[in-house]
Chain A
């Protein structure tokens, strides 16, 4: 779209000043006075056990203890897509770390001491730690009542099993198609559990006053989902639960839905009216909030002798953990995206959401896509190596294009995927000779493509309220969270563009459910598109009101008017200009001398217009999701043959963002995504030993540091407009980490000829594979 002024400009973030001066407030920075209590949770030491008895009497008797809560009192079910979780553990515990009881006390030390005084008698049960084993008829059942749980209509739990969602795709005739293939590759891949590790650990404060009104301050990506799920579980009227969320110190998915809030409100109810604060230690953060699910993937791809993909048969076993209230939808997303971004006429896909006795799997940046692309993009690389086809040309050839039929039978919208693949390759220098490696090192290049749709229910909607002030500055009320991605800036730009005012004059607020309009959740990279549409509507609504006032004032048609730099102007009569100041509150007199107007308040609401259900047996339907953001990333590495240590030299990436509302923000998201992709690809893994976390500290959970970042990064984007997006925009926050890890693994293969199928690509694994390679070459 041309002719925009501030949309498309790399303006400074609206929140930057607050953040560099220390003025920005996060939940833990809010003060609650001397009456505040501190909460601690007693957690299950067992991965799977019956709770035989809980005795809290000694804890209650400890001086300074003000409330103790357990599942005996607070056992209502809660969940986003499947209500399989209780506020506190009730009859059973299903993972190490599950909250069994909570204490609120005058100090943290007293609360901790009191937790130790709670006596719990357990009867240990056999546990499940492998998702494929979870499906075995011999495996212990983790949720006996699965058949009785409430669930969303697009989730398919299998009562009497450990499968809480089963998503199937049956398209074309893969069995016969494989027979026609010149090359068929089938491989198995593994992705471990991760933890999002936002720098700000989860923290929540609840206050329940004597009138039964509850306020929750929490570090959440989802104030309205919090209110929805918690009010329902606690049987509160929605307008008696108020959720306030200040700035977030990162989330990456682990602060979506509800987690620790379910434990703090019961304590606040019992300690009423004193506020109760529950803050995760870093150790707890690693396994007691959401983690990224593990995945075992079996991927089979067949191509004909022209290098065209004819068929795929993919099975995804999600290690979804003890509760899958949120994770069931990751399974669904992996099903409807199961082919990756390719045109595949024949598909069989089975995605299983498997209960295990692992920590609770939840959404993480990419929502299943980094995991399945880890497998798909490596199998494609194997095919290219085997058949001698160029990995870039192969991907470009098979890339989905506008008008192609997707895996779920819908028509793909226009997309710049092919351009992205070629651009990332070009920026990396794919066709140029590799630089000379230092002695003992090898240079390798790899590429991977991706797609991802916002995964959400069909009714995930957005609201926006735009209020003018006397000086024509604006307060924009929305409830999408600013968690670092820059959404406040983007919303200010959209509003300013429509209203003809400076974006700096638009202040975007962090939400308070009592005053801010509804927003489903800040997840799925959906805000630019969904909330952006609502903000655009709100601004257009305000603009229409303003132009109507001015046209009545001047007695002319509104079509002749425009708003430029804060002034209403008449396009045909330069003598007519009217500052927005004053008039946006106090109105204007019309030709009859009557005062018209009043405070200008714009409203906007948006709901996805045309998503339809998919058939339960085939996964087919006209439109599975709102849209897909596509892209690609290429990586060049140098790897040491003796140590297996990888040095990332160059990363080039390109995504189709539809329209970059703020190009600098897109670049920043891309660099951050590359970092997270490399970190998860090279190092990250939450080690679980029989369900017990073994590396739950920042010292032991290895992440990429400033030293591991590539010397050169080439972030770029293309803009094939999203027809129903604001100014043509679609989201790009999560996507930027999706192809990184498989591109890296492909580069390792290019350098050394070894294939690492289990994430992360550690030096140890490389050395081990090199040894195998040497032994094999000796025996030949």
Chain B
């Protein structure tokens, strides 16, 4: 039986019909054409599908679409909406934290969820925040560096 849900993605309201077992990831990718969340495993093990839902980083492959009724969802597409890069995006570019790029949207969303709640994280807190995000290319170090320098920039900008 189909359900009709309404959700807010990147500041826009959408109403979509979904199957009971349908995943948020598939709704975003197939029905809304928001393709930055990637399918790496569909089992909650790789983090490629990470989006921010109601302020928290979640694996959208594990979220049932029906659970996202009225949810506020942010994907990496929204960070660049006004044509200016978010400090995290700029830092990822500058630190060499992007190679194949398949992990990048999810990685940035995990990092953003962290910095939104903890603007001055320790290195260990950064590592913990991205522990569920798999990257096979970069060796992680540049990603940790990028998040650290983005935090510094955001602190300065906010101050």
**Are the C-beta atoms of A706 and B45 separated by less than 8 Å?**
no
Closest-by-CB residue of B relative to A671 is B139
Q: Which residues in chain B, 78-99, are within 8 Å of chain A measured between CB atoms? A: 79-80, 85, 89, 92-94, 96, 98-99
A705 and B131 within 8 A (CB) = yes
Answer whether A709 and B38 are a contact pair too, CB < 8 Å, given A20-B108, A22-B105: no
Interface pair A672/B40, CB less than 8 Å apart: no
CB <8 Å contact, B42 and A282: yes
Known: A20-B98, A20-B104, A672-B137. A249 touches B35 (CB 8 A): no
Contact A20 B92 (CB under 8 A): yes
Q: How many A-B residue pairs have CB under 8 A?
A: 151
List the A residue with the shortest CB-CB distance to B39.
A28
Q: Are A668 and B96 closer than 8 Å at their CB atoms?
A: yes
Q: Does A31 contact B100, Cβ atoms closer than 8 Å?
A: no
Contacts of A664 in B (CB 8 A): 96
Q: A580 an interface residue at 8 Å Cβ cutoff?
A: no
Interface 1/0 per residue, A187-224 and B, CB below 8 Å:
00000000011111100000000000000000000000
Give the dominant DSSP class at B's interface: loop
CB–CB B93/A17 < 8 A:
yes
B42 touches A281 (CB 8 A): yes
Shortest distance in angstroms between B140's beta carbon and chain A's nearest beta carbon? 4
Contact with A along B110-154 (1 / 0, CB 8 A): 000000000000000001001100111111111110000000000
A252 touches B101 (CB 8 A): no
Given the interface pairs A675-B139, A698-B46, A713-B141, the reply to whether A201 lies near B39 with Cβ below 8 Å is yes
In the assembled complex, B17 has its CB within 8 A of some CB on chain A: no
Find residues 54-109 in chain B having any chain A CB closer than 8 Å to their own CB: 75-77, 79-80, 85, 89, 92-94, 96, 98-105, 108
| Cβ contact within 8 Å between B36 and A199 | no
Contacts of B143 in A (CB 8 A): 706
B142 near A199 with CB under 8 A, answer no
Decide: A201 and B40 in contact? CB cutoff 8 A. Answer: yes
How many residues of A are counted as interface, with CB atoms below 8 angstroms from the partner's CB atoms? Answer: 53
A252 CA / B137 CA spacing, docked (Å): 9
Q: Which residues of A contact B130 (CB under 8 A)?
A: 706
Q: Are A698 and B38 in contact (CB under 8 A)?
A: no
A22-B75, A250-B137 known; A199 vs B40 contact (CB < 8 Å): yes
Q: Which residues on B sit within 8 Å (CB–CB) of A484?
A: 99-101, 137
**A426 on the interface (CB 8 Å rule)?**
no
Q: How far is the CA of A609 from the CA of B10 in the complex (A)?
A: 54
- What is the interface residue range for chain B against chain A? 35 or more
C-alpha gap A308/B136 in the complex (Å)? 39
- Choose from B79, B93, B100, B141 the contact partner of A249 (Cβ within 8 Å): B100
In the assembled complex, the Cα of A412 lies from the Cα of B89 at a distance in Å of 45
Q: Does B157 contact A (CB under 8 A)?
A: no
Does B24 touch A at the CB level, under 8 Å? Answer: no
Q: Does B16 contact A (CB under 8 A)?
A: no
Q: Is the CB of B142 within 8 A of A698?
A: no
Q: Which one, B43, B94, B100, contacts A282 given CB within 8 A?
A: B43
List A residues 444-498 near B (Cβ within 8 Å). Answer: 483-486
Question: A198 near B100 (CB under 8 angstroms)?
Answer: yes
Given contacts A199-B38, A697-B45, contact A21 B76 (CB under 8 A): yes
Q: Count chain A CB atoms within 10 A of each CB in B104, B127, B142, B144 and give the residue with the most.
A: B104
Considering residues A16, A485, A665, A705, which has the most beta carbons from chain B within 10 angstroms of its beta carbon?
Answer: A16
- Flag whether B48 is at the interface (Cβ < 8 A): yes
- Note all chain B residues with C-beta closer than 8 A to A705: 131, 140
Q: Which residue of B lies closest to A200 (CB)?
A: B102
Which A residues, 666 to 685, have Cβ-Cβ distances below 8 Å to chain B? 667-668, 671-676
Question: A19: which B residues are within 8 A, CB to CB?
Answer: 98, 101, 104
Q: Is the CB of A709 within 8 A of B76?
A: no
A697 to B46, CA, bound (A): 10
Whether B100 contacts A483 by the Cβ 8 Å rule is yes
Q: Which of chain B's residues have a CB closer than 8 A to the CB of A248?
A: 100
A667 cross-chain contacts in B, Cβ below 8 A:
96
With a cutoff of 8 Å between Cβ atoms, the chain A residues found around residue B45 in the complex are 282, 697-699
User: Is A556 part of the contact surface with B, judged by Cβ < 8 Å?
Assistant: no
Given A672-B139, A675-B138, A698-B41, verify A12-B93 contact (CB < 8 Å).
Answer: yes
Tell me if A430 counts as interface (CB < 8 A to partner B): no
26 A-B contacts, Cβ less than 8 Å apart?
A: A16-B92, A17-B85, A17-B93, A18-B101, A20-B85, A21-B85, A22-B77, A22-B80, A28-B35, A197-B136, A198-B102, A198-B136, A247-B100, A249-B100, A282-B43, A484-B137, A664-B96, A668-B99, A671-B142, A672-B137, A673-B139, A697-B41, A698-B41, A698-B43, A707-B127, A709-B140
Known: A24-B101, A199-B137. 6 other contacts (CB 8 A): A20-B92, A22-B80, A31-B33, A282-B41, A705-B140, A709-B141
User: Which chain B residues have a beta carbon within 8 Å of chain A's beta carbons?
Assistant: 29, 33-36, 38-43, 45-46, 48, 75-77, 79-80, 85, 89, 92-94, 96, 98-105, 108, 127, 130-131, 134-144
- Identify the A interface with B (CB < 8 A): 12-13, 15-22, 24-26, 28-29, 31, 196-201, 247-250, 252, 279, 281-282, 483-486, 664-665, 667-668, 671-676, 697-699, 703, 705-707, 709, 713
